[in-house]
Amino acid sequence: MAKAEIRSPLPGTFYRRPAPDQPEYKADGAEVAKGDTIGLVEVMKSFHDVPAEVAGRNIRFLVEDAEPVTAGQVIAEVEE
């Protein structure tokens, strides 16, 4: 099985849910469709969606919720 990487588009803080009281966009092991939002990157109080660029299954997050990320850092892997 090939694995596709989903990378952070910007440096900032990665969030797996739209708000603290909301469920995660995607749980570990979930399926994703191309274009699905898998999280947000917050930069100076501005939130940017992180879309899946490929469809796949069994998403595995490599970054924890509210963890700092750099531009281009792999935040998740998906089995194609």
Determine contact, residues 2/65, Cβ cutoff 8 Å: no
pLDDT band at 5 (very low <50, low <70, confident <90, very high): very high
* pLDDT per residue as tens digits for the range 10-34: 999 999 999 999 999 999 999 999 9
Its pTM stands at: 0.92
Determine contact, residues 3/70, Cβ cutoff 8 Å: no
- Taking the domains of the chain in order of start, what are their residue ranges? 3-79
Bridge partners of 14, per DSSP, are 41, 67
Level-2 CATH architecture, domain 3-79: Beta Barrel (2.40)
